[in-house]
Amino acid sequence: METNRKDCEFLPKLASGEWIGAWGLTEQETGSDAQGMNATAKKDGGFWVLNGTKNFITHGKSCDMAVVVFRNGEKGDSRGMTTFVIEKGTPGFSSGKKENKLGMRASETAELVFDNCRIPDSNRLGEVGEGFVQCMKILDGGRISIAALSLGIAKGAFDAALKYSKERKQFGKSISSFQGISFKLAEMATDIEAATLLTHKAGEDKNNGKNVTQIGAMAKLFASETCVRVANEAVQIHGGYGFIKEYPVEKFYRDSKLCTIGEGTSEIQKLVIARNLLK
Ligand SMILES: Cc1cc2nc3c(=O)[nH]c(=O)nc-3n(C[C@H](O)[C@H](O)[C@H](O)COP(=O)(O)OP(=O)(O)OC[C@H]3O[C@@H](n4cnc5c(N)ncnc54)[C@H](O)[C@@H]3O)c2cc1C
């Protein structure tokens, strides 16, 4: 994707961490069904006027710039969407409500608000009408990242549970010596291994320039559901201590759930996979 402005204006700052970026697609009424978005971009000479609110945006408050998709055509028309880069401080661009979340509380999730925000055409990312196709490509890659994120949480939860099960004694023995606990560990480790292989396959295909729509959705679906299952069992293995904030599994459990929702829910991953199988 190319902007009309020089890539070197944004990419080094984002890649080095000097700037934090955000990506805005979701709106209050349109999550899974992004084509129905309401936020509009209207052309005005060499400028665009942006209006509307994006919802649930990661780094919605702390971002230095945001890449945001707007509707420039008819509602529901997938070829009527265009993407823009908007820098913080641009008049008419502000952050809105910050959400109070179950997990993933280390990064904020907030609204992006556009109120007659006027930006030059040079801030357009790619072609007019290309926004939806860009989103699908971004999500194809992003889903592999969520699969990797899921694996990280699952491995952390598993390691904590394995360690605890060896240390904790009940009935005069380590709880890991009970078949009921060791079988949980066996299933958790097997699921993590399978999710790892699937995620690596998706990553390898992406690196080799192959289409990853299906394999990315499979990796995201399986790894994120594994993450929730493993985090749940890790809390169970900790018993009451799993419910207490001094132990890390409580946080893994809360954080895990986002992985089955963000960048497309598990239901949407199944829809994508099924569509690919049946086309
Ligand atoms: C912490 C957090 C961070 C996020 N960060 C970002 C971000 O940075 N940028 C961004 O653009 N968005 C972001 N999102 C939004 C996220 O991508 C959406 O929440 C997600 O895509 C689901 O949309 P929704 O919440 O509107 O749910 P809905 O689409 O309303 O779905 C509700 C339920 O209906 C199901 N459903 C919907 N359609 C179908 C169907 N056709 N078949 C079967 N079931 C269906 C869903 O699976 C779900 O179970 C974030 C969300 C959260 C919670």
Tell me the C-alpha distance between 84 and 114, whole Å.
12
Q: Which atom of ligand 1 is nearest to the CA of 30?
A: 26
> How distant, in Å, are the alpha carbons of 34, 61, 220, 241 from that of 158?
35, 33, 19, 15
Report the Cα–Cα distance between both ends of the chain, in Å, rounded: 27
Cα(35) to ligand 1 centroid in Å equals 13
Cα(56) to ligand 1 centroid in Å equals 9
Query: Looking at the DSSP assignment, which residues form a beta bridge with residue 119?
Result: 48
Using a pLDDT cut of 90, give the percent of the chain over it. Answer: 94
Q: CATH number of the domain at 7-128, please?
A: 2.40.110.10
Q: Are 27 and 113 in contact (CB under 8 A)?
A: no
Delimit the CATH 2.40.110.10 region(s) of the chain: 7-128
CATH assignment of 133-278, given 3.30.450.30, 1.10.10.10, 1.20.140.10, 2.60.120.1440?
A: 1.20.140.10
pLDDT of residue 1: 53
Cα(22) to ligand 1 centroid in Å equals 17
Q: What Rg do the C-alpha atoms of the chain give, in angstroms? A: 22
Parallel, antiparallel or unpaired: strands 81-87 and 124-125:
antiparallel
265 C-beta closer than 6 A to ligand 1: yes
Tell me the C-alpha distance between 38 and 29, whole Å.
8
pLDDT of residue 8: 72
Tell me the C-alpha distance between 274 and 98, whole Å.
35
For CA atoms 181, 185, 190, 191, the dihedral sign is: positive
pLDDT of residue 9: 83
- How many C-beta atoms surround the C-beta of residue 28 within 10 A? 12
Long-range contacts, 178-181 (Cβ 8 Å, 24+): 181/237
Looking up tokens 């005005």, which residue turns up?
Answer: 44
The amino acid sitting at 275 is R
Confidence band for 5, pLDDT divided at 50, 70 and 90: low
Question: Which of 20, 23, 26, 111 best tests ligand 1's pocket when mutated (most atoms within 8 Å of CB)?
Answer: 26
Structure tokens at 250: 């409580």
Confidence band for 6, pLDDT divided at 50, 70 and 90: low
124-172 pLDDT, tens digit per residue, is: 999 999 999 999 999 999 999 999 999 999 999 999 999 999 999 999 9
15-28 pLDDT, tens digit per residue, is: 999 999 999 999 99
152 C-beta closer than 6 A to ligand 1: no
Delimit the CATH 1.20.140.10 region(s) of the chain: 133-278
188/11: higher pLDDT: 188
What residues contact 9, with CB distance under 8 A and at least 6 apart?
A: none
- Which residue has the CA at smallest separation from atom 48 of ligand 1? 265
Rounded average pLDDT over 232-242: 98
Rounded average pLDDT over 175-182: 98
72-105 pLDDT, tens digit per residue, is: 999 989 999 999 999 999 999 999 999 999 999 9
pLDDT at 7 over 90: no
Confidence band for 3, pLDDT divided at 50, 70 and 90: low
Confidence band for 4, pLDDT divided at 50, 70 and 90: low
Q: Which atom of ligand 1 is nearest to the CA of 266?
A: 47
Q: What is the mean pLDDT of the chain?
A: 96
111-136 pLDDT, tens digit per residue, is: 999 999 999 999 999 999 999 999 99
